[in-house]
Amino acid sequence: MRYGVFSDVHGNLEAFSMVLDFFRASRVDGYICCGDVVGYGPDPEECLSLIRELKNLHIVCGNHDLAVIGRIDMEWFNPYARAATLWTRAALGEESRRFLESLTARLDHKDFTIVHGSPQRPADEYLLSVAQFKNNMSRVKAWPLFCGHSHMPVCFRCSAEGKVQALFIEDHQAIIGEMAPYGIVPVAYNPGSVGQPRDHDNRAACALWDSEARTFQVYRFAYEVAATQAKIRAKGLPEYLALRLAYGQ
């Protein structure tokens, strides 16, 4: 099976359309989404409509999705995130709200696991260090683990000897999840962010995962950032949310 893997769309329709076109052209068999479809961006309703049409979709909710439906409070959100959450809450239709309410924070498939942040704290922990990955390993039943939240394309890989490696994944770089004599070794993949990359590369990020070959390959796509920025301004969302898209941070 070949899956289109993506995360942190954040209501950015221009970026998401590029990624979906690529997945369709790649003839993927299914989709894995690590959450945060909404929040920050100007087109939450349109992005959720596209998500709901995807066949064989495996998806979890992120902290922004949960804030929009009032399941977590916004105490830890910065003022921009808070303003965008309130705007998104008002912009969503009934069907989209119900769809977000139907999502779980963790998805345990027989062939993989999906969370937004980390297995032990799906809604808030950023999986960024080897120590954090090790701390979370016992909470995963089926590898690989797919996560988002940090908006960085990264991989944590445990060798057959038990050594853990953290890798930033470049455009077109393929990572091979190693096989050990006793089965599949622990590996976590983050496809980066579709709608608000934060690795100083403003292109939309996504990945393809081949469950048989056990390869995970990241792809970056330039999209019309100015069009998304114009919508952010026209809809009265904070200016900072438009500016950060240009810098990829």
- CA 51/CA 160 separation, integer angstroms: 37
Q: Tell the smallest beta-carbon distance from residue 222 to Zn ion (Å).
A: 20
Judged by CB under 5 A, how many residues of this single chain contact Zn ion?
2
- CA 43/CA 33 separation, integer angstroms: 17
Does position 125 bind Zn ion by CB under 5 A?
no
* Nearest Cα to Cα of residue 56 among 25, 22, 98, 28: 28
Does position 65 bind Zn ion by CB under 5 A?
no
Does position 8 bind Zn ion by CB under 5 A?
yes
Cis bond leading into 197, ω under 30°?
Answer: no
Binding mask 18-37 for Zn ion (x = CB under 5 A): ------------------x-
Identity of the residue numbered 162: G
Pick the closer one to Zn ion by CB: 66 or 164.
66
Q: Which helix (H) or strand (E) element contains residue 243?
A: helix 239-247
- CA 107/CA 158 separation, integer angstroms: 21
Q: Tell the smallest beta-carbon distance from residue 148 to Zn ion (Å).
A: 6
Q: Tell the smallest beta-carbon distance from residue 35 to Zn ion (Å).
A: 8
Pick the closer one to Zn ion by CB: 198 or 214.
198
Q: Tell the smallest beta-carbon distance from residue 16 to Zn ion (Å).
A: 13
Q: Write out the residues near Zn ion by the rule CB under 5 A.
A: 8, 36
